Amino acid sequence: MPSRRDLANAVRALSMDAVQQAKSGHPGAPMGLADIAQVLWNDFLKHNPADPDWVDRDRFVLSNGHGSMLLYALLHLSGYDLPIEELKKFRQLHSKTPGHPEKGYAPGVETTTGPLGQGLANAVGMAIAEKVLATDFNRPGHTIVDHYTYTIVGDGCLMEGISHEVCSLSGTLGLSKLIVIYDDNGISIDGEVHDWFNDNTSARFSAYGWQVLSDIDGHDSEAVVSAIMAAKADTARPSLICCKTVIGFGSPNKQGKESCHGAPLGADEITLTRKQLGWEYPPFEIPRDHYGGWDATERGAAFQKDWTEKMSLYKSEYPALHKEFERRMRGFLPPDFESEANSYIASCQFSMQKMASRKASQNALNAYGSILPELLGGSADLAGSNLTLWSGSKPISSGDGGGNYIHYGVREFGMSAIINGIALHGGFINYGGTFLMFMEYARNAVRMAALMKINSIFVYTHDSIGLGEDGPTHQPVEQLTALRATPNLHTWRPCDNTETAVCWKLAIQRTDGPSALIFSRQGLEPMKRSTSQVDEISRGGYILQDCTNPRAIIIATGSEVELAVNAADELAKNGIHVRVVSLPCAELFDIQDEDYREFVLPSHISSRIAVEASHPDFWRKYVGLKGSVVGMSSFGESAPGPMVMDHFGFSVKNVVAEVLEVVH
């Protein structure tokens, strides 16, 4: 039987060979982490290669995603459906082994990592999900949710500010099933990190309320075993295991140096490394007994069989809970959700209440939350402004995981990446709120949600210069454009209570990507609609107010829809009839069939005006060369909201003038 070091060397060999064949990549981290990974995956990790989506598996996140060959080697050797041919195609087009781990390519990859620190944040979200699910479903004598989240981080992950945000919160919430292994190799791309990263990391995490296991030799398997056992023994705190490692371990001339961080070792150095490690096999060749030492299929089947038997007993004693658990982990909504949501939407249209869309959002949460036990929300210290708390909200805490609301504190980026981790874990419909302006702090997490096609819901209030007195630091201008430019993200800016109810319904139902819901601070007038118009909201854009032979079309979203309607009414008094189109979600409208899009925005009507208190460039594709946009080409001003809106041209008078300009 191969020794631990022999098994670890298989990871090292595959990593350096794949990077060399690709002519690019990061061999150093996988080679330095191989001994740790061998212990974790062979002695502790509860998983089943035959069923990568088994719900009670331990989660493993490689936060320093540039070391992706470590993960691919582990998956291949352990028995996942990742054949050696895919490792040979590392970093190549259409392979299952892209340069950084990407969710949905290779089985067993839990999340997309690469932007440093976000994998750690995702892991925090997974640990939160486990804690809440365990409280919701475990019963005395029946522990059906019981898994750990392990993540490996590097110096870069801990330098990123997001690591502070999420690790501080983790300690506060007492996420005892989160175990973080710090690859303390002292090297980054630019060289030895002591000149720019000299933190007392142990003291830092102790201050967060973590258990810290310091100065562990990452190449001493027994020391790693002891450290992980100690981490698992602490049932009150998350654990950080600080492992001293040598980057590029085994490379005679490059180990411990930045030269092995982000470039192939080179053919000559690989030859020397093979000799140094005692690895006598050619590239991509792993001996049968080494595969046998790594293969986790039998062990994984036993893990899952044991859990299945527990579930059978659980089903017998708690049939309703078992059914609910199965529903939630499969991602199915309650069977009556569609009808209940439609009834609520109809009631919104019937009531014709004026309100800020942030308040309409809270009302929607009250309506949907009562029938969605999987709803898990939160806000970045703005619950009273975002109105993300609803009547059934109960905060989770260190001592009580039985809640459905997270007070994230002033941690917009951390919150957004944690939300992604919760979505990846499964079992929840989750959302988090902040001001639209502060989306900027979290921009990359929103992008990652879109990249992974996960159902994260980002709630953004105070959506324009209309928020008023807080001024241009808080008034978004270009943020809607950035969100709408993000592939696979649905960005909603509803104009009233009804559109808000619809956007929440569709965001909840969406299974192939995230949604950004944009809400106002100021009150919005309800719009008159027929039943068919209400139905058409879900198509992303529709004719809100029409006329015979319109001379122009006004397109608007959010608070500016009321302005567009009022301008159309004023124009009609002068014999100029225009159509008003509400376009709350352009991404949905753009994927409608051509006939419908032509019906709403007929090509023969070239006189078009878009009205939105945001950057104008997005709207050029709808108004064309002859059209006009009433938008924001500058930052805002500090003054009462109506005064600011009027100052920047968001008035009936100005919109009428713009329409007259394009029709003449």
Is the confidence at residue 1, as pLDDT, over 90?
no
Say what the pTM is: 0.98
141 falls in which pLDDT band (50, 70, 90)?
very high
For 333, the token pair is: 């909504």
Rg (CA), the chain: 27
> What tens digit of pLDDT does each residue of 183-223 get?
999 999 999 999 999 999 999 999 999 999 999 999 999 99
> What tens digit of pLDDT does each residue of 59-97 get?
999 999 999 999 999 999 999 999 999 999 999 999 999
Cβ within 8 Å of residue 429, ≥6 positions away = 372, 374, 375, 376, 455, 457, 508
The mean pLDDT of 138-156, rounded to a whole number, is: 98
Give me the pLDDT at residue 304, please. Answer: 98
* Distance, C-alpha 651 to centroid of its chain: 38
d(CA 237, CA 233): 10
The mean pLDDT of 387-416, rounded to a whole number, is: 97
* Distance, C-alpha 189 to centroid of its chain: 27
Across all residues in the chain, what is the average pLDDT? 98
Is the confidence at residue 100, as pLDDT, over 90?
yes
* Distance, C-alpha 405 to centroid of its chain: 17
Q: 412, 560, 587, 658: which is the annotated catalytic residue?
A: 412
- Tell the residue number behind the tokens 């290669």, with chain if given: 49
| 412 catalytically annotated | yes
Is the confidence at residue 521, as pLDDT, over 90?
yes
Q: Are 136 and 374 in contact (CB under 8 A)?
A: no
> What tens digit of pLDDT does each residue of 580-628 get?
999 999 999 999 999 999 999 999 999 999 999 999 999 999 999 889 9
**Residue at 197: amino acid letter:** F
**Residue at 566: amino acid letter:** N
